[in-house]
Amino acid sequence: MSGLYIPSPYFSLHGDLALALRQGTGKTNLSVILAWPDAERAKQKSDLKIEYSATQLNIDMPILARVSIPNALYFEAGPMVSFNVYSKSKAEITDIFGTETYEENGDLNVAEFDIVTGVGVTQSIGKSMIDFDLRFVIGLTRISDGKDSPKTWQGLLNVTYWFL
């Protein structure tokens, strides 16, 4: 659902309430060296392969300021708060001994804050309008409490039909 307040042809405020399914995966290879306090024991090395995936279902609420060039295009920017409704993560770690799988539900933060920027065009259809826009979302907060946890990074293509 979206709302658009248009006080002038050049400036407007745009708010959304959206349900967003986010999925991400990552792979890495690394080596671990185990050193013993006893100098007579040899160091041991193990090569690891780690595969990680995360799924989130969020409610996104951006509030964007829109600057328009009438009959051409518009630019939008503003903050977004995102509330996590469901999350699931899975890590598979493979080494010479086999594969271990670790799964967690609800391990991601309840809320995150982001900055949204975008560019788009508006087309008139009779008394209504349709927007086509491309948005970029940059996370300000991490998706979990870990220091090395990623921040949101998204590209969105939106089509909005306005009932006016």
- 41-59: pLDDT as tens digits: 888 888 999 999 989 899 9
Task: Give residues with Cβ within 8 angstroms of 87, minimum separation 6.
Answer: 54, 55, 56, 57, 105, 106, 107, 108
10-30: average pLDDT: 92
How confident is the prediction for the chain on average, in pLDDT? 90
The string of pLDDT tens digits covering residues 65-117 is: 999 998 889 999 999 999 999 999 899 999 988 999 999 887 777 889 999 99
Q: Are 78 and 64 in contact, with CB atoms under 8 Å apart?
A: yes
Task: Give residues with Cβ within 8 angstroms of 97, minimum separation 6.
Answer: none
Distances from the Cα of 100 to the Cαs of 9, 29, 44, 51, 79, in angstroms?
58, 15, 20, 11, 39
For 95, counting Cβ atoms within 10 Å of its Cβ (0-12 exposed, 13-18 middle, 19+ buried), the class is middle
Token pair of 83 as six digits: 């509330």
